Chains A and B, each alone.
Chain A
């Protein structure tokens, strides 16, 4: 079983839709959870960062962590074509390195 599982998609939605992106993980020791956004042929950029269980909101983005289910989510409200990118979930390993999911490719159609 991989440490972090993420459906690669692709996911295609109309502009204005609510997008739900998810990851599951196997290591119950993970405490820090991140979502990165990666545009085509660019480096990943940090979107959201959460610690332990709970919700965190930043503008149109909401990150949720459910440690009991080992499940994390990223919601995007009022999605825009500029949100079209690959979204990567990531967790901190024991030495400070990041463990990434494969990424979900999102396309928001105007």
Chain B
């Protein structure tokens, strides 16, 4: 029974490039959450998606960041024109419903050079 899967596990980008982070939820889960963890900081909520819908994006930076969770395939967090401040660990979590336990993936560590 596979847990939440994220890829890539490590991603290196130069300033100005695009980063695409993928998340496959646990089997049977249709709710996905993205969190960012900066060095020495706790996890910060970014966006909450259900299949084909964004439920809450109150934690997303207004520019350069977008997320989607299509009917088929993984959820994708996209960061355009990355800057050094985007270097962080990005975690995805999934749940079977709103208010249900969230299970986390292993994270993608993004390094912007």
Contact = CB atoms under 8 A, between A and B. Distances in A.
Interface of A: 4, 6, 8, 32, 36, 41-46, 49, 88, 90, 92-93, 95-103
Contact of A88 (B43, B45, B58): B43
B45 A93 contact: yes
B91 interface: yes
B56 A100 contact: no
A41 B101 CA distance: 21
Nearest to A95: B56
A100 B59 CA distance: 13
A97 B56 contact: yes
Contacts of B109: 41
Contacts of B19: none
14 contacts: A4-B42, A8-B40, A43-B106, A45-B104, A46-B101, A92-B99, A96-B31, A96-B33, A97-B45, A97-B48, A98-B33, A98-B93, A100-B35, A103-B42
A101 B42 contact: yes
Nearest to B44: A100
B53 interface: no
Given A43-B4, A43-B91, A43-B107, A98 B42 contact: no
A44 B101 contact: no
A41 B109 CA distance: 9
Interface string B77-113: 0000000000000010101001101111111010000
Given A43-B4, A46-B101, A6 B42 contact: yes
Given A95-B55, A96-B99, A98-B33, A44 B104 contact: yes
A96 B101 contact: no
Nearest to B92: A43
B72 interface: no
A46 B98 contact: no
Interface in B42-87: 42-45, 48, 55-56, 58-59
Contacts of A36: 104
Nearest to A45: B104
B101 to A, nearest CB: 6
